Amino acid sequence: MDKQKKIVTMFDDIAKKYDLANRVLSFGTDIAWRKKACDKAFEFYGKKDIERVVDVACGTGDMLNFWQRRAKDKDIKEFIGVDPSSKMLEIAKQKFPKFKYIQAFAQDLPLESSSSDFLSISYGIRNVVDRVDAIKEFHRVLKPNGVLVILEFTKRDKKSVVDSAIEFYMKKVLPRVGGLISGNKDAYEYLPNSIDNFLTTKKLIEELKESGFEILYNRAFSMGICTLFIAKKGDKK
């Protein structure tokens, strides 16, 4: 089994307890991060009539729900969740049946070019093996001036006392608690390792720029545990 399929199988295994584990392990702070991401993206886009919002690696659909709830006075015609995990999508359909879902990989999106106003990926880009190809796909699918939102756990360039404390939590506490909740300790040992193996904020920004994105906003939250990236596709197709 190749690496990408192995990751998908792991998420299939933890799908039923995924939401609970996320809330417990992040102490609920991921809710604030998601709200901030949507609010800033809408602010940068500045339009009320929105044709399509796409959430890639949508998991159980939480981010789509945040997009809809934070839209307020905006008219959004379509919400689409994309994920390679069939088990995650089953739960998403039960939780939020009003959204449309597609089973697909981030690097091969079955969506028309220049068709989406927003595309988000929350805590999923580090799980994409062919990341550069995925970023190119995001660029292709977005409309000119469309907005890309990435929320992710990123690796710090320098280590401080705080970083050491975070690393202890991620490598020692998180696997045990996540394992107890989900019944799959291996999946929550994978999480800190996937962050260690992921790139720095600086490197991800470089990759986004190389694929044609303009960085609009970049900020770390909660002592650097999570980073928000907001980027824009240029005004040409």
User: In percent, how much of the chain has pLDDT > 70?
Assistant: 74
- pLDDT given at position 156: 60
Q: Which structure tokens are listed for 196?
A: 């260690």
pLDDT of residue 181: 62
Question: Mean pLDDT for each 10-residue chunk of the chain (237 residues)?
Answer: 74 71 66 94 97 96 96 96 95 96 97 98 88 96 97 69 64 66 65 64 92 95 81 83
Dihedral sign for Cα atoms in the order 82, 185, 228, 211: negative
SS3 42: helix
pLDDT for the residue 193? 62
What is the CA angle 19-200-5, rounded to 5?
50
pLDDT value for 152 = 85
Domain edges within the chain: 3-233
Q: Are strands 49-56 and 116-122 parallel, antiparallel or unpaired?
A: parallel
Half-sphere exposure of 48 (CA within 13 A, CB side): 3
Q: What are the strands, taking DSSP E only, across the chain?
A: 49-56, 75-83, 100-103, 116-122, 142-153, 213-221, 226-233
Superfamily of domain 3-233: Vaccinia Virus protein VP39 (3.40.50.150)
pLDDT at 168: 65
Predicted local distance difference test score (pLDDT) of residue 223 = 66
Amino acid 176: pLDDT:
72
Residue closest to 137 by CA, chosen among 118, 109, 104: 109
Q: What is the pLDDT of residue 1?
A: 47
Kindly report the pTM of this predicted structure: 0.85
176: helix, strand or coil: helix
